[in-house]
Amino acid sequence: MLPLSLAVAASSAYPPICPPVTITRADLGEEDGPDFPYPSESLTDGGLFDNLGFEQFLRNKAHDPDTPTDLVLSDAGAAFRWRTQESFWWIIRRALRATDILTKRVADQTLQISKGLQSSFRIAHIRIDEQIDDRPLGRLPIVLQKRLPRVRTDMDIFSSLEISLLERHAYGVCEVIFPKNGLEMPPTEYQMDPAPSASLSEWISQTARVLDRSARRRYSLVNFKDGAFYGLLVWCFVLLLAAISPLLITTIQIKLLRSQLADATQAYRASQAAADAANADKAAAIARAQELEQQLRDREKNPMK
């Protein structure tokens, strides 16, 4: 069984930033066979091939006629922005922009194909940027519906309020789109949020400000709730240690050489002092010997003196 975390990581492997995730037969508990013909495969974000999953639905239908003919296309992609005033001079931004254009073209082609098959299948296209009548109870005001498509979708944690708003709008859109395509709204236990304690206008204003902030990407290297942060911390420590280890080794060698030099200097001074003391004793002994020798000579010259 493939761990959910590995599947999410593969689905989030969006090039050119994130590399593909490799899975093997062992990861799936499979043996050599037609279901997994290669020893390993590299998986990436499905949006590069089919962002709505419609292609796989057609393949399943071609191989198995009993495949259900009702299909819900969940489209969380925001409206494409032309950005004609930007130059995209930075290579990463340019690469991401090129990927966005390719993904947009794939999604447009998928939707065009799905529209041509409306007579054969019941297909409901649920778009996050769909604006619906906000008068029925439980639906989001239009001012909030307009902001939802701008909520970031790139590797970030949603707050409870953001999750609740997205769910409420999704259920509201389904209530409108399903009947238009001959589909029935399935029963659900989803409960709308209770009425806000503040006035409705004040709640709408506060929520609109939250969604405006949600549209901005939040870059942060510190997140104690994310296990990957600790792995990144370990890697940074290893890289830092590798970078400063030559400097540390050189510093330690310099300290050792200075210590050895100080010991050698002290030993030299001690030996020099000992040599000076020995020389002083030698000079005194020589002087005493010369004095005694002179006295002996004087005595020999005048023995009666």
**What is the three-state SS of 154-167?**
CCCCCCHHHHHHHH
pLDDT at 219: 61
pLDDT at 191: 59
- Rounded to an integer, the average pLDDT of 153-158 is 70
* Amino acid of residue 76: A
- Is the pLDDT at 159 greater than 90? The verdict is no
Give the percent of the chain with pLDDT over 70: 88
- Rounded to an integer, the average pLDDT of 139-150 is 90
The Cα 276–Cα 25 span in angstroms is: 84
Instruction: Name the pLDDT band for 177 (thresholds 50, 70, 90).
Output: very high
Nearest CA to 40 out of 52, 30, 48 is that of 30
pLDDT at 29: 76
pLDDT at 178: 92
Torsion of CA 31, 35, 41, 42, to 10 degrees: -140
Average pLDDT over the chain, rounded to an integer: 81
Q: Helix, strand, or coil here: 300?
A: helix
pLDDT at 231: 78
- Rounded to an integer, the average pLDDT of 210-238 is 76
pLDDT at 36: 74
What's the whole-model pTM score? 0.61
pLDDT at 228: 66
182 phi, psi to nearest 5 deg: 75, 20
pLDDT at 132: 92
Q: pLDDT by residue (tens digit) across 272-297? A: 888 888 888 888 888 888 887 777 77
pLDDT at 142: 93
Instruction: Name the pLDDT band for 201 (thresholds 50, 70, 90).
Output: confident
The Cα 72–Cα 54 span in angstroms is: 9
pLDDT at 23: 86
| Residue of 157 and 264 predicted with greater confidence | 264
pLDDT at 197: 57
- Rounded to an integer, the average pLDDT of 58-80 is 81
- Is the pLDDT at 190 greater than 70? The verdict is no
pLDDT at 144: 92
Q: pLDDT by residue (tens digit) across 16-68? A: 677 888 888 888 777 666 777 788 888 888 777 787 888 888 888 888 878 88
pLDDT at 143: 93
CB-based contact 237:172 (threshold 8 Å):
no
Torsion of CA 8, 9, 10, 14, to 10 degrees: 110
